[in-house]
Chain A
Amino acid sequence: MADAFVIETADLRKTYDGIEALRGLTLSVPAGSICGFLGRTGAGKTTTVKILLGMARPTAGRATVFGLPVDSPAASVDIRRRTGFVGDDKGLYDAMTVRGMIRHTASFYPQWSRELEEKYLRRFELGAERGIKTLSRGMRTKLALLLALCRGADLLVLDEPTTGLDPAATEDVLQALVGHAAERGTTVFFSSHQLADVEQIADHVTIIDRGRVAVTGGLDDLRQNYRRIQLVFDGDAPSYTFQTRGVERVKRSGRVMTVLSSAGIDGVLGEARQLNPVSTDSAPVTLKDIFLDTVAVED
Chain B
Amino acid sequence: MIWQHAFLETRWRFLIGLVLLPVSAAFVALSYPQVTALSQSVTPAPDTALGREIAEAMELSKTYGGYVWSQWFQQNGAQLAGLFAAIIGTGGLLSQTAAARLFTLSLPVSRERLLAARAAAGLGQMLALTVVPALVIVLVSPLVGRSFPLLDALAYALCAFVGSAVFFSVAFFFSSMFGSVWAPIVLTLCTGAALGALDRITGAGRFSLIQMVHGESYFRGHGLPWPMLAVSLAVSAALLYSGTRLVARQDF
Q: Which residues of A contact B (CB under 8 A)?
A: 16, 50, 53-57, 73-74, 76-78, 80-81, 83, 85, 87-96, 103-105, 107-109, 144
Known interface pairs A104-B1, A104-B5; A77-B98 also in contact (CB < 8 Å):
no
Known interface pairs A16-B251, A73-B248; A81-B99 also in contact (CB < 8 Å):
no
User: When the two chains form their complex, are residues B102 and A87 in contact, meaning their CB atoms are under 8 A apart?
Assistant: yes
B116 CB to closest chain A CB (Å) equals 14
User: When the two chains form their complex, are residues B252 and A91 in contact, meaning their CB atoms are under 8 A apart?
Assistant: no
Q: How many Å lie between the Cα of A17 and that of B200 in the bound state?
A: 44
B100 surroundings in chain A (CB, below 8 A): 91-94
Is residue B107 within 8 Å, beta carbon to beta carbon, of the partner chain? Answer: yes
A92 surroundings in chain B (CB, below 8 A): 99-100, 103
B103 CB to closest chain A CB (Å) equals 4
- Which partner residue on chain B sits nearest A144 by CB separation? B103
Q: How many Å lie between the Cα of A90 and that of B98 in the bound state?
A: 10
- Which partner residue on chain A sits nearest B112 by CB separation? A73
User: When the two chains form their complex, are residues A80 and B108 in contact, meaning their CB atoms are under 8 A apart?
Assistant: yes
- Which partner residue on chain B sits nearest A103 by CB separation? B1
Interface of chain A: mostly helix, strand, loop or mixed: loop
Known: A93-B103, A108-B107. 4 other contacts (CB 8 A): A54-B105, A85-B102, A91-B97, A94-B97
Q: Which 8 A/B pairs are nearest by Cβ-Cβ distance?
A: A91-B99, A89-B99, A107-B1, A91-B103, A81-B108, A85-B106, A56-B251, A80-B108
Q: How many Å lie between the Cα of A53 and that of B251 in the bound state?
A: 11
- Which partner residue on chain A sits nearest B103 by CB separation? A91
B104 surroundings in chain A (CB, below 8 A): 91
Is residue B109 within 8 Å, beta carbon to beta carbon, of the partner chain? Answer: yes
B241 CB to closest chain A CB (Å) equals 16
User: When the two chains form their complex, are residues A80 and B107 in contact, meaning their CB atoms are under 8 A apart?
Assistant: yes
Interface centre among A73, A103, A104 (most CB of B within 10 A): A104
- The tally of CB-CB contacts under 8 A between chains A and B is 73
B121 CB to closest chain A CB (Å) equals 15
Is residue B180 within 8 Å, beta carbon to beta carbon, of the partner chain? Answer: no
Interface centre among B97, B99, B102, B252 (most CB of A within 10 A): B102
Q: How many Å lie between the Cα of A108 and that of B114 in the bound state?
A: 12
Interface of chain B: mostly helix, strand, loop or mixed: helix
Q: How many Å lie between the Cα of A56 and that of B100 in the bound state?
A: 16
Known interface pairs A78-B108, A80-B108, A108-B108; A91-B251 also in contact (CB < 8 Å):
no
User: When the two chains form their complex, are residues B98 and A91 in contact, meaning their CB atoms are under 8 A apart?
Assistant: yes
Known interface pairs A91-B101, A108-B1; A56-B252 also in contact (CB < 8 Å):
yes
Can you give 16 contacting A-B residue pairs, CB < 8 Å? Answer: A50-B102, A55-B106, A73-B112, A76-B110, A78-B108, A83-B106, A85-B106, A87-B99, A89-B99, A91-B100, A91-B103, A92-B100, A93-B5, A96-B8, A107-B1, A108-B107
Interface centre among B4, B103, B104, B107 (most CB of A within 10 A): B103
A48 CB to closest chain B CB (Å) equals 13
A253 CB to closest chain B CB (Å) equals 43
User: When the two chains form their complex, are residues A87 and B103 in contact, meaning their CB atoms are under 8 A apart?
Assistant: yes
User: When the two chains form their complex, are residues B4 and A104 in contact, meaning their CB atoms are under 8 A apart?
Assistant: yes
Q: What 0/1 pattern do residues 1 to 42 of B give for CB contact below 8 A with A?
A: 100110010000000000000000000000000000000000
Q: What 0/1 pattern do residues 203 to 226 of B give for CB contact below 8 A with A?
A: 000000000000000000000000
Q: How many Å lie between the Cα of A144 and that of B102 in the bound state?
A: 12
A53 surroundings in chain B (CB, below 8 A): 105-106
B4 surroundings in chain A (CB, below 8 A): 104
A105 surroundings in chain B (CB, below 8 A): 107
Q: What 0/1 pattern do residues 76 to 120 of B give for CB contact below 8 A with A?
A: 000000000000000000000111111111111111100000000
Q: How many Å lie between the Cα of A103 and that of B4 in the bound state?
A: 11
- Which partner residue on chain A sits nearest B101 by CB separation? A91
B108 surroundings in chain A (CB, below 8 A): 77-78, 80-81, 108-109
Q: How many Å lie between the Cα of A77 and that of B109 in the bound state?
A: 6
A210 CB to closest chain B CB (Å) equals 20
B97 surroundings in chain A (CB, below 8 A): 89, 91, 94
A137 CB to closest chain B CB (Å) equals 11
Interface centre among B101, B104, B106, B112 (most CB of A within 10 A): B106
Known interface pairs A89-B98, A92-B99; A57-B251 also in contact (CB < 8 Å):
yes
A78 CB to closest chain B CB (Å) equals 7
Q: How many Å lie between the Cα of A90 and that of B103 in the bound state?
A: 8
A107 surroundings in chain B (CB, below 8 A): 1
Q: How many Å lie between the Cα of A80 and that of B112 in the bound state?
A: 15
